Amino acid sequence: MSEPPVADETLDESVQERLDASPTMGQPSAGRVLAQASLILTVAALASRALGWLRLLVIGSQFGAGRELDAYFAAFRIPDAIFQLVVAGALSAALIPVFQGYRARGDEAEAWRLASSVINLVVIALSAFSLLMAIFAPWIVPLITPGFDAPTTELTIRMTRVMLLSPVFIGMGAVVSGILNSYERFAVPAIAPLLYNLAIIAAAIVLAPLIGVEGLAVGVAVGSLAHLLIQLPQVASVGQRYDLSLSINHPGVRRVAWLMAPRTLGLAAVQINFLASTLLATGQPEGSVTAYNYGFQLMQVPVGVVGVSVAIALFPRLSRDAALGNLDVVRHQLSSAIRVLLFIALPLTAVMTVLREPLTAVFFQYGLFSRQSTDLTAVALLYFTLGLAAQCLVPILARAFYALQDTATPVLWAIVTVALNIPLMVWLVGPMGVGGLALALSVTASLEVFGLLWALRGRLGGLDGRELLSSLLRSSAAAAATALVMFGGLQLTQISLPTLLDHALGRLVVLLVLSVLGGAVFLGAAALLRSQEIGELRGLLGRRFRPADSVPGGQ
């Protein structure tokens, strides 16, 4: 298949001059804008993760890690698969560079004709998929939940049908978020997930006591609608108009479809992987599906707060510089982001690995969520955190390719790693249970990172390899020292104060004290090892609070 033609793909020199001049004409510098965007996204991600934790705490305390919550999480799989395949990474990665290309050429009206057509196509596609899945749910759901008994399977089918409303609203919201991010308006798209979580929490408190766990499914549908509605006024404020056009033959639409195709294939492989993990977990002891999801969500807190936030904030800049052919700038920005992400992710890996049991208990062990549920979740968390650094790096590495308008390479590596992950899960789940499923994901995520780095090195003419290796070794050494100190502190606590960890307040105190101690040890060790990332983080935070550059050439 040949690539469809798109008119005026190349930016002319006058456009490049305008873009090159824009950061210095009385506007904040690129570093300042990135710092502001990263801070907004990080704060919003922290709030979203906090509400996500509260959501899991509330539903866990009401239902415990049993068949009802297993059914709830299994019911998520089909709606989430539809959203991921049609919208999630595929459409966002393809739309933003093409949308930005039209805007960079000064053709704002054409950019919005593209956006309107894409939104309308997304609504049609998601509605059709959701309707078909709702009709055939009684035959599809049992295929991914073979370990469930008949009543649990029926419950899963009913909740799946209710939650199939969510891909339509979340899908539209995701497209709108991508458009707003193109205008470097990050706040409202970052706030939207908060309403989603709040709706599920409200449903757990108000509806679940009345209609049981199915009330959570209603909360998911309502929350997805709120996720969309809060963003619509912000879209109107950018001064452009959405219309009902459906220009399938628009060159921009064809370009987006072309860029989406390989990414969609890769996401299909990833969804097969998630469905396989659910299938295998349903054959494990009761509560394994819930433990797997709770452990995964805990691991995703730093991934979302750190990895995804940095990737989203940097993506528009990478796209612009790549469009202008400034590959040296892309390489420098990417290398710096990787080093800072490793500097943050490695000590977090140490904290979450050593303190996994008190961490899980502090977050979830309330109400019907028993000590047995905590132990099972902590096992999953242990093996998930072994791949934490890799999970933090995948979003920024993949978006570097998307900025280069190359969606094929990350898809290829995603398919390879998924192809390895499924047999690895099958092999490990027998002797290791839910921990084997988590370990398989960590191993293959690490392989994916190595593959993406290798491919990017060829595309960008290097990745400052010496600096990356030096940074990795220094950060790893500091993280190892952190883990040893925290492990010693935890063992000392268990010997000298054996009952302290039996109470919620005691667990919280131990978790806070050892985490602060670990953080101090890491920073001290990093300073002794002369890790330059300390200075980069200090500079990033400093730029956030300095006045905007107002002189030409100010950076």
Establish if 146 belongs to a structural domain. yes
**What local confidence, expressed as pLDDT, does residue 88 receive?**
59
Q: Which two tokens stand for residue 67?
A: 């068949």
**Nearest Cα residue to 390 out of 271, 483, 472:** 472
* 527, 533 Cβ separation under 8 angstroms: no
Cα angle, residue 103 at apex, residues 98 and 105 outer, rounded to 5° = 100
* 297, 443 Cβ separation under 8 angstroms: no
Q: Region of 406 please: left (phi>0), alpha (psi -120 to 50) or beta.
A: beta
* 106, 15 Cβ separation under 8 angstroms: yes
Residue 55 has pLDDT above 70, yes or no: yes
Last residue in a domain, options 248, 277, 306: 277
Last residue in a domain, options 246, 277, 308: 277
- First-to-final CA distance of the chain: 44
Confidence of residue 25 (pLDDT cuts 50, 70, 90): very low
Establish if 38 belongs to a structural domain. no
Tell me the pLDDT tens digit for each residue of 244-294: 777 777 788 888 888 777 767 777 777 788 888 888 988 888 888 889 989
142 and 224 share a domain?
A: yes
State residue 386 phi and psi, 5-degree precision.
Answer: -65, -25
Confidence of residue 497 (pLDDT cuts 50, 70, 90): confident
Tell me the pLDDT tens digit for each residue of 452-487: 999 988 888 777 778 888 888 998 999 999 999 999
Per 3-state DSSP, what percentage of the chain is helix, strand, and coil (rounded to 5)?
85, 0, 15
508 and 533 share a domain?
A: yes
Establish if 548 belongs to a structural domain. no
Measured CA to CA in angstroms, residue 398 lies from 204, 308, 335, 343, 444 at distances of 36, 11, 14, 19, 15
Tell me the pLDDT tens digit for each residue of 111-165: 888 888 888 888 888 888 889 989 999 999 998 888 888 999 999 999 999 999 9
**Nearest Cα residue to 298 out of 514, 511, 552, 500:** 511
d(CA 4, CA 248) in angstroms, rounded, equals 13
271 and 340 share a domain?
A: no
273 and 194 share a domain?
A: yes
252 and 319 share a domain?
A: no
107 and 256 share a domain?
A: yes
Establish if 520 belongs to a structural domain. yes
Confidence of residue 37 (pLDDT cuts 50, 70, 90): low
Q: Is this prediction's pTM over 0.75?
A: no
Range of the domain at 428: 286-543
Highest average pLDDT, of 128-132, 245-249, 306-310, 424-428, comes from: 424-428
Q: Which two tokens stand for residue 53?
A: 């934790």
315 and 364 share a domain?
A: yes
d(CA 224, CA 203) in angstroms, rounded, equals 13
Residue 392 has pLDDT above 60, yes or no: yes
Tell me the pLDDT tens digit for each residue of 101-117: 887 787 778 888 888 88
Q: Which two tokens stand for residue 542?
A: 């400093």
In this predicted model, which residue has the larger pLDDT, 443 or 329? 443
For residue 407, the SS3 value is coil
**What local confidence, expressed as pLDDT, does residue 463 receive?**
78
**Nearest Cα residue to 290 out of 60, 24, 552:** 60
119 and 187 share a domain?
A: yes
191 and 318 share a domain?
A: no
Q: What percentage of the chain has pLDDT greater than the value 90? A: 26
Last residue in a domain, options 277, 303, 319: 277
Establish if 32 belongs to a structural domain. no
Contacts of 77 (CB under 8 A, 6+ apart): 144, 274, 275, 278
Q: Write down the mean pLDDT value for the chain.
A: 81
**What local confidence, expressed as pLDDT, does residue 18 receive?**
33
Tell me the pLDDT tens digit for each residue of 431-454: 999 999 999 999 999 999 999 999
Measured CA to CA in angstroms, residue 390 lies from 78, 262, 349, 399 at distances of 26, 22, 11, 14
219 and 95 share a domain?
A: yes
Write down the residue that tokens 């969520």 correspond to: 369
**What local confidence, expressed as pLDDT, does residue 459 receive?**
81
Establish if 431 belongs to a structural domain. yes
Residue 364 has pLDDT above 80, yes or no: yes
Measured CA to CA in angstroms, residue 492 lies from 37, 378, 484, 485, 514 at distances of 42, 20, 12, 11, 11
382 and 354 share a domain?
A: yes
Residue 296 has pLDDT above 60, yes or no: yes
Establish if 475 belongs to a structural domain. yes
**What local confidence, expressed as pLDDT, does residue 137 receive?**
92
Query: Which amino acid belongs to residue 271?
Result: Q
Q: What percentage of the chain has pLDDT greater than the value 70? A: 87
For residue 554, the SS3 value is coil
Establish if 22 belongs to a structural domain. no
Q: How many domains does the chain have?
A: 2
d(CA 61, CA 42) in angstroms, rounded, equals 28
In this predicted model, which residue has the larger pLDDT, 75 or 539? 75
265 and 290 share a domain?
A: no
Over residues 21-25, the mean pLDDT reads: 38
